Amino acid sequence: MNPSPAPLLDDAALAALGKTRPWLYFLGILACLGTAFAVLVLLIAFSIALHTARAHLLAWGGIVLLLISAPTAFVQLAYASALSRLSQARGAELPEAVELACVRQRSVWIVNAFTVGVLALVSLFQLLTTLHLVR
């Protein structure tokens, strides 16, 4: 029995990856800005003594934002750079560049699932708190 041949990554597949790149750069840069904003929020929260309820809320908001935006920025920009490398790769470099892009897209989706899960939990907590206050 012959093993099935490895699938070709044809022009259409390379084009699909190429079109994804600008969106990932855009989202990655926004996540970087989000990280900077989260750090600023945390600095403000810690500079105005943490014993007030508002500072506590600010600090928690900053921590959640940092947990979401820092890993997102890292993996999205890493995937976008792998896609840039793929677009420039020629000949023998191509399979290695494709492999790197595939591995990094998996990291992007792991972090994406984690951040969306954190957001869902925070929203669920907010809903429960609201329902508790309403009752």
Partner 1 sequence: MQNEFSPEAPSRPTLTRRSIQALAATQAWARLAGIALLVLACVELALGVTKLFYPPALPANLQFGPHGMLEFTALHSILDAVMVIIYAATGWYALRYARKLEQVRPPLHPDSRDIVVALGAQHRYWRLQGVATIVFIGLSFVFIIAITIISVGLAVKH
Residues of span 76-115 touching partner 1 by CB under 8 A: 91, 94-95, 97-99, 102-103, 105-106, 109-110, 112-113
Q: Which residue has the tokens 């935006």?
A: 69
**Cα–Cα separations (whole angstroms), residue 27 to 8, 19, 65:** 29, 14, 15
Rounded distance, CA 71 to CA 49, Å?
28
Residues of span 111-130 touching partner 1 by CB under 8 A: 112-113, 116-117, 119-120, 123-124, 126-127, 130
| Contact status, residue 86 vs residue 97, Cβ threshold 8 Å | yes
Q: Smallest gap, in angstroms, from Cβ of residue 45 to partner 1?
A: 18
* Interacting residue ranges for partner 1, rule: CB under 8 A: 4-13, 16-17, 19-20, 23-24, 26-27, 30, 91, 94-95, 97-99, 102-103, 105-106, 109-110, 112-113, 116-117, 119-120, 123-124, 126-127, 130-131, 134
